[in-house]
Amino acid sequence: MKMETYTPAALLRPFIKAYKIIESGDERTNRVVPNTSFALAFRFKGQISSIADGHKTALPATTFSGLRKSVRLFNYAAQTSALIVQFEETGVLAFFKHPLHELFEQSISLDNFFPQSEISIVEERLSEAPDKLAKIAIVEQFLYNKLFYNKPDKLVLEAINSIYSSNGIIRIRELARSLYISDDAFEKRFRKAVGATPKQFSSIIKLKAIIDQNTGSGSFTDIAFEHGYYDQPHFNKDFKLFTGQTPTEFFKSGLYW
């Protein structure tokens, strides 16, 4: 499986982190751990299926996915290619008016948001585009047309920065107090802008930091304590929900993105 990352055009850069083009020559199952970005996937060749409880379910050609707290397995059929749009944490609001928190743990067809006729044109043009840059240009034109821009919530952005800087090890109530806002009002504003509660978002950041900062060579007990867990069983439970594997299995496999 080959994956290449591309930078968005300047106008879209405030809202989109990156584009990824994934190509699979042979059939392959890919492990996708939770992320802080909404994702929009355009499959322009082959077939992608999600795997749950041992069953494969074919996904629509164009799929919009919310934030998740648990791992997902995707099966790429042989000769499958897709372009993935990864949004900035609050950037998705510039294109979608739907309540984002309703998409937590969900992946649904894009025609729930935009006319199928428009999506079909994009899909057809993607299949005919001569190269990867041409495909990105097609998707960017579609996004330009949907951009209505929603001014970012500065309080939420400040909260996101605080969560990142602490690697997710932060008390949400204390964070709300530092921003001079009540717990309930903070959760509603954050969930509206990000598509997850502050607690859910912090958990994703914490476990991603553990994965990014460790190779599995150290003591998992020490890793658990260093990242705010009171005992290793609690850490193991959260880690397995996040990755689908025990820490030992996960760091040995190395198969995820």
Query: How many whole angstroms separate alpha carbon 60 and alpha carbon 47?
Result: 9
Domain 154-253 fold is Arc Repressor Mutant, subunit A (1.10.10)
Q: What's the CATH superfamily of 2-146?
A: Jelly Rolls (2.60.120.10)
How deeply is 184 buried, as exposed, middle or buried, from its count of CB atoms within 10 A (0-12, 13-18, 19+)?
exposed
pLDDT score recorded for residue 233: 84
Answer for the pair 62, 110: CB distance below 8 angstroms, yes or no: yes
In angstroms, rounded to a whole number, what is the distance separating the alpha carbons of residues 117 and 85?
A: 20
Other CB atoms within a 10 A radius of the CB of residue 186 amount to 22
Domain residues of the chain, as ranges?
2-146, 154-253
pTM over 0.85: yes
pLDDT value at residue 217: 63
- C-alpha–C-alpha distance, residues 166 and 168, integer Å: 5
Q: What is the pLDDT of residue 94?
A: 93
Q: Which residues of the chain have pLDDT under 70?
A: 215-218, 254-257
